[in-house]
Structure 1
Amino acid sequence: GDGSVDTDTLRERLEDATASSPSVGVQTPAEFAGRQTDLIDRIIAVVYALSALAVIVAVLGVANILALSVAERRREIGMLRAVGATRGLIRRTITVEAVLTSVYGAVVGVLAGLGAGFAVLGVLGDVGLTSVIVPWAVVAGVLVGSVVVGVVSALAPAVRAARTPPLDAVAE
């Protein structure tokens, strides 16, 4: 009578009309939003996986830098040991160096990530993206995690530095 059609009938008619075109699908706004959310969730999962890989590379990179640093400063470390520096002090010094390197990298990374987020906001502001939500808990976790990365990275180089024989190192 009044020309209105229920949603199920409308969906069937649209699916029949678009059946010959496989690239066209019929969805309700809720279904469309759900698919977009799934896509974004997958992208976020990939970003987290890449972030985990970056952390592994960071640990290896900091450990490598420290190992080279300890090797290059063998004489200086031997001199410190010869004048009374304890093994514990040498280990702590190398560990602090690693933590500072890791925290510096994390701060630069967080600032770059926040800058990228705001840049995306500027580019996609016209299509409805109007705000950036900064996950402060994640940011804090990254900064705390960088301290852990620094300590873990320093384990082997710090032990190696502490075991440096003072007289042999100075004699080189």
Structure 2
Amino acid sequence: MEPRLNVYASPLLGTFVKHINTAGKAVADSPLPAATQELVKIRASQINGCGGCLDMHTKEAIRAGETATRLHLVAAWREATVFTDAERAALELAEQGTRLADAAGGVTDEAWANAAKHYDEEQLVALVALIALINTYNRLNVITQQPAGDYQAGQFG
């Protein structure tokens, strides 16, 4: 598949991507656990059908020590026994935050309260920012049909 656009060739898109990459670095450096960050990015990317982000974040998760079992079960996290209660809360918030149009009112109070039981305010801020950020990347990649499969772990940092 050929991408519709070279997102880095356009000055406008280049500036946009530079700014979201800066935001991504801030979230990555937050107190939100790195494993949780990767799981959230993977789950949102699964929902959005973003092959490029799935390629990147599964490889980065493996590089960071994530197990194949957990990666294979992200899509079925409700039935899987390999995730902590905190990770489950983050995955639920990620799903609801990604599927805003599917439910009137967006994220439920129950999902928010469950996440707040496991994460302090700074971590919740990072989680919300991460969900918004990965959805931005997903939409950029899906709209422009960025290819997947060639990402090398560590390629961007």
**TM-score, structure 2 length as denominator?**
0.29
Structure (1 or 2) with the larger CA radius of gyration? 1
TM-score under structure 1 length normalisation? 0.27
Larger helix proportion of the pair = 1
